[in-house]
Structure 1
Amino acid sequence: MGTFKIEGGHQLKGSIQPQGAKNEALQILCAVLLTSEKITINNIPDIVDVNKLIALLKKLGVKVEKLSKGVYTFQADQVNLAYLESDQFKIDGRGLRGSIMIVGPLLARFGRGYIPKPGGDKIGRRRLDTHFEGLIKLGAKFGYSKEEQFYGVEAERLKGTYMLLEEASVTGTANILMAAVLAEGKTTIYNAACEPYLQQLCKMLNRMGAKISGVGSNMLVIEGVDRLGGTEHTMLPDMIEIGSWIGLAAMTKSELTITNVSWNDLGLIPETFRKLGITVERRGDDIHIPAHNDGYEIQSFIDGSILTIADAPWPGFTPDLLSIILVVATQARGSVLVHQKMFESRLFFVDKLIDMGAKIILCDPHRATVIGHDFKSTLKATTMTSPDIRAGVSLLIAALSAKGTSTIQNIEQIDRGYENIDERLRAIGAHIERID
């Protein structure tokens, strides 16, 4: 198990470029299964979860070639369907949650798709009902082995239909969408997720020959086609990493420039950090964060009541950044209520921040009140363990702001979502060492 050793209390300076978007990559990579033609994908992040999915595609028979850093070609012209029923697949498929999105493309193109119960972050229940209910409405027959926790769907021919999703699940929408593009007739998906990464998937599929309208809204209309062709696609920068670097700059009183952020796809992220009193400047397509040597002050609502920051489906504030918001608030002037609505175990890492000296009241599994120190009392260095990707990075930011030397164990969780994070942070002045 790897460990980060971090000497905190140092100001950072320079520029950092966000990696390609992890959540987009997991969708786009699964979409290569929809065609036998070659697909070129640019800006693929070199992170554990994405590399696991690429390895899974290779075992499925997809031809994968790395052209340069972050640039790959994929060709699924000889898919090995027998692998799907092997014992090895039941092990490999559990390795990451994103593997669930191979089911829709496989079902649409080959008439069957299987997946073991996928893994991922330990942040509470993450149901798969939306995925399979949507595929069933398209005409698939569903099966589940409780003993092996193995799911399967089969259909001779999918048929378009109208469906209202119970939840605006991003991966669920992606899975159903990828099945519907090759279904017979028209499919309407209402209460569809509409985040930028899902829009990117829609645009890629349309370039491949799909007929998807309503892109960017919560109602997608898909006219099924007989086949899809090849294309080239470039990933957006990772908005979660961008938010992480904003929080890092504020907590360490550092002057940082985050380059090539695709401002138009950031939604509420800049404004939400501004509500914490952080100066977020737009310079072309970059974000500049000046050094907050005098700290930052949390705004109140217009009636004077305490600010609440809550997550919501896009275009609401992404749940993946609430952990960062919570950490940044520990050194603000003022108080804020952080309300994590979408996952039930994601705030449990706050006990580690409390051990570091943060003033946080965990009201229940979904809500935490943070009373900021205004840098009058710095966080204390400590030893901690990363429970999931986003909490891990939040603890890393806390450690970089704390006086003394901290250690973070189980950093494989951080590596799942952040590319070479220690090297990139050292380049802007962070004192961080990886110990295997």
Structure 2
Amino acid sequence: MGTFQIEGGHALRGEINPQGAKNEALQIVCAVLLTSEKVTIHNIPDILDVNKLINILGSLGVKIEKIGKGSYTFQSDEIDLDYLESDKFKQEGSGLRGSIMLVGPLLARFGKGYIPRPGGDKIGRRRLDTHFEGFIKLGAEFKYNREERFYGVEAPKSGLQGTYMLLEEASVTGTANIVMAAVLANGKTTIYNAACEPYLQQLCKMLNSMGANIKGVGSNLLEIEGVKSLKGCTHRVLPDMIEIGSWIGLAAMTKSEITIKNVSWNDLGLIPVTFRKLGIKVEQKGDDIFIPAHKDGYEVQSFIDGSIMNISDAPWPGFTPDLLSIMLVVATQARGSVLIHQKMFESRLFFVDKLIDMGAKIILCDPHRATVIGHDFKSSLRATTMSSPDIRAGISLLIAALSAKGTSVIHNIEQIDRGYEDIDGRLKALGAKITRVA
């Protein structure tokens, strides 16, 4: 188990280039299974979760070549379907939640897809029902081995059949999986209450460039006319909006002056607006974000009626739940109070006990809500020893440690490595005092 040692209390300075988007890459990399032709993808982040998925594709028989930093070619012309029922796949697939998105393209092109119950962050219930209900509506037969906790779907001999479906929840990965299955189905598929995050839009644009016929991209109503086959393409992954938000929070919390380069501003949605609600200055300079040093701190806004500021998550174009942990830790040094409402995952706020140990004033109201009373930098957080429970809590604790006086220790940093590329090296380039201990 890896460890970070962080000497906090130092202001940082410089420029940072955001990595490719983790959540997009996990979808895009699975989509290469939909064609036998070569697919080239640029700006893939070098992080544990994505690398695990690429390794699974290699075991499945996909020919993979790294052609540069973050750039790969994939060719799925000799797939070993027996691997899907092997003990090796059960072990590799169960350690990665993103492996669920292999099922849609495998079902569409090869008529069957299997997956062990996937792992990932322990942040609450994350149902797979939306994925499999969509496959069933397309005509697939659902199979579940309760003893081995192994899921599967098989298409009828006549192939998947397009249909109308109203999704129970606007699941991003569920929508992506169903879209990848529907592009090769017979006839027209209509998906209502579809997720419409930029990463899902990117997947649809990539599939259309491969010859798919998807309309309504960017809306919650997708219409997909099935085609017989798809061709190869070249695609570039967006910068990671969650990492961009993490750098904004880091800059404010450590009173640092940081420029975040090439952020694809139009794909950030409410992220800049939401940080401004905490009083953080987020300046647009072309396609860059400039965060000035907040030497006088930052003050939480209030609503027109004077009630406490409430920051909550919602499906796109609402504020992403992946940044609520960042907002919470940044609010601990704000001037004023804020209610953080995590609607989607009931275990995501449980890391606040570690922040309370550091001296933060937080009232955990229930599993979904926490009230934060900011210190206004009049009292620094205390250095401590802690462990990272998941990706987003991990980066939030790292930000807290970088702002605290003294030396903090964070264990289980593999959780952070799952979503953030070379985080310690990039922080050092900004002047942070952080050491990775094996």
TM-score (norm 2): 0.99
CA distance in 1, matches of 2:380, 2:437: 25
Deviation at 1:13, TM superposition (A): 0.3
Aligned to 1:434: 436
Deviation at 1:79, TM superposition (A): 0.5
Q: Give 1:429 shift.
A: 0.4
**What's the counterpart of residue 130 of structure 1?**
130
- 1:209 paired to 2:211: yes
Which of 213, 227, 230 pairs up with 2:229? 227
Provide the secondary structure at the position in 2 that maps to 1:114: strand
Deviations 1:103-129 (A, max 9, x none): 000000000000000000010110000
Give the 3-state SS of the residue equivalent to 2:41 in structure 1: strand
State the Cα distance separating 1:190 from its structure 2 match. 0.3
**What corresponds to 1:198 in structure 2?**
200
Matched residue of 2:252: which SS?
Answer: helix
SS in structure 2 of the partner of residue 226 of structure 1: coil
Question: Which stretches in structure 1 are left out of the alignment for 5+ residues?
Answer: none
**Cα distance between partner residues in 1 of 2:167 and 2:106:** 21
Shift in Å at residue 95 of structure 1?
1.4
Provide, for residues 297-353 of structure 1, a one-character-per-residue CA deviation record: whole Å limited to 9, x for no partner: 000011110000000000000000000000000000000000000001000000000
Residue equivalent to 2:120: 120
Moved >2 Å (runs of 4+): none
Residue number in structure 2 paired with 1:7: 7
Q: Residue type of the partner of 1:418?
A: Y
CA distance in 1, matches of 2:125, 2:137: 23
Distance 2:149 2:194 in 1: 27
Corresponding residue for residue 358 of structure 2 = 356
Matches of 2:275 and 2:139, distance apart in 1: 44
Give the Cα–Cα distance (whole angstroms) in 2 for the partners of residues 317 and 245 of structure 1.
17
Where does residue 36 of structure 1 map in the other structure? Answer: 36
Which residue of structure 2 aligns with residue 274 of structure 1? Answer: 276
How much does 1:87 deviate? 1.1
AA aligned to 1:46 is D
* One-letter amino acid matched to 1:71: S
Cα displacement string for residues 386-410 of structure 1 (whole angstroms, at most 9, x for unaligned residues): 0000000000000000000000000
**CA distance, structure 2, for counterparts of residue 419 and residue 13 of structure 1:** 19
The equivalent of 1:150 in structure 2 is 150
CA–CA distance in structure 1, aligned partners of residues 375 and 317 of structure 2: 31
Partner of 1:381: 383
Aligned residue runs from structure 1 range 52-201, under 5 A: 52-155=52-155, 156=157, 157-201=159-203
SS of the residue 1:304 aligns to? coil
The code of the aligned residue for 1:219 comes to: L
Identity of aligned residues (%): 82
RMSD (CA atoms): 0.3
User: What is the distance in 2 between the residues matched to 1:112 and 1:183?
Assistant: 13
Q: Aligned partners of 2:437 and 2:93: how far apart in 1?
A: 29
For the residues of structure 2 that align with 1:233 and 1:37, how far apart are their CA atoms? 14
One-letter identity of the residue aligned with 2:338: V
Q: Which residue of 2 aligns with 1:237?
A: 239
Question: Hey, what does 1:49 align to over in structure 2?
Answer: 49
Distance in 1, matches of 2:89 and 2:328, equals 38
1:81 deviation in Å?
A: 0.2
Q: Match for 2:225: what amino acid?
A: E
C-alpha separation in 2, matches of 1:322 and 1:146: 35
Separation in 2, partners of 1:17, 1:280 = 16
Q: Distance in 2 between matches of 1:390 and 1:318?
A: 12
SS at match of 2:131: helix
Residues 330-384 of structure 1 show CA distances to partners (whole Å, capped at 9, x for unaligned) of 0000000000000010000000000000000000000000000000000000000
Match of 1:288 in 2: 290
Q: Kindly provide the amino acid, as one letter, of the partner of residue 221 in structure 1.
A: E
Unpaired runs of at least 5, structure 2: none
TM-score normalised to the size of structure 1? Answer: 1.00
Which residues of 2 match residues 402-421 of structure 1 at below 5 A?
Answer: 402-421=404-423
Classify the secondary structure of the residue corresponding to 1:408. strand
